[in-house]
Chain A
Amino acid sequence: MATDGKQPDPAGADARSDERIEAARALLAAIDAKLFPNSGAIPFYEQALLIRRAVTRLLGNG
């Protein structure tokens, strides 16, 4: 719904969203490259197990 006489621009909004995602991805990749150069990519199934283990440990002292 336009309130200022302008028409919505969904294509433009999508482009801005894509640009933000690319900027975020570039930042995250730069952090990995700079701080964790020896850390390899983790297969997703292994990552899920590692997350579960980490969360279980953090919440483990019940």
Chain B
Amino acid sequence: MADAMALYAEVGAWNLAALADRRAFDSHYEAVAGAIADRLTAKVHIDIQARGRAFDEWIVGLASMDAQEITDRHFVGVCASLIASLASHPIVTYSVMVRPWPDRLIEAVAKYPDQVTALMSGAAVYLLRVRDMTGVDPSVPLSPLIVENAAGHLWRGLAAAARFRELLQLSSPWS
């Protein structure tokens, strides 16, 4: 908590631009990984150097995007590139402390830890902003099978990141 308060004092409040700060980026990722770990009753292990490489890759990708005439495609592209950058590095593992049997979600996360965490990280950015704008949560609770399927698509090819809304059944406020 002390770290979080120090971050708040130094970086200010969260918005999209704050994610270009490495500490805010790390904080976002840790909140997502922590939530997944809580859901699984697991301990989370993060390779900080690998996460740093993902951050650098994401920044390079953003810096090369055309910033003229901003549309919703830019926002979706930012979320998708975040997912692709995080999924392309072996950053995270989860050690399950209690294994209720059978639990397909645990198996999905154990099989694709980086892909599930990457998808949740990008989805979280999307959800925070869209819900704030519309007042409606654009997500639905997913079955473990859908989570595993989405992560599997991402594992087979990073291009699947661009389809994160379809894969995670997130609705769009834009037609």
A binds B: yes
Q: Does B12 touch A at the CB level, under 8 Å?
A: yes
| A27 with B35: CB separation less than 8 A | no
List A contacts of B139 (CB < 8 A).
Answer: 54, 57-58
**A25-58 vs B, Cβ < 8 Å mask (1 yes, 0 no):** 1111111101110111111111110111011111
Q: Does B70 touch A at the CB level, under 8 Å?
A: yes
Residues of A bordering B, CB below 8 Å? 17, 19-21, 23-32, 34-36, 38-48, 50-52, 54-62
**B95-118 vs A, Cβ < 8 Å mask (1 yes, 0 no):** 000000001110000000000000
- Min CB–CB distance B60 → chain A (angstroms): 6
| B128 with A31: CB separation less than 8 A | no
Chain B at the A interface: SS class: helix
Chain B residue nearest in CB terms to A32? B16
List A contacts of B39 (CB < 8 A).
Answer: 55-56, 59-60
- Min CB–CB distance B71 → chain A (angstroms): 8
Residues of B bordering A, CB below 8 Å? 4-5, 7-8, 11-21, 24, 27-28, 31-32, 34-36, 38-39, 56, 58-60, 62-63, 65, 67, 70, 72, 74-75, 78, 103-105, 120, 123-124, 127-129, 131-133, 137, 139-144, 147, 168
Chain A at the B interface: SS class: helix
| A20 with B28: CB separation less than 8 A | no
Alpha-carbon gap, A28 to B60, bound state (A): 13
Which interface residue of A24, A34, A40 has the most chain B CB atoms within 10 A?
A: A24
Chain B residue nearest in CB terms to A60? B141
List B contacts of A39 (CB < 8 A).
Answer: 15, 129, 132-133
| B13 with A42: CB separation less than 8 A | yes
Alpha-carbon gap, A17 to B20, bound state (A): 12
| A27 with B132: CB separation less than 8 A | no
Chain A residue nearest in CB terms to B123? A58
Q: A28-B19, A51-B28, A62-B103 are in contact. Are A41 and B129 (CB under 8 A)?
A: no
Which interface residue of B7, B128, B144 has the most chain A CB atoms within 10 A?
A: B128
Which interface residue of B16, B24, B34, B142 has the most chain A CB atoms within 10 A?
A: B16
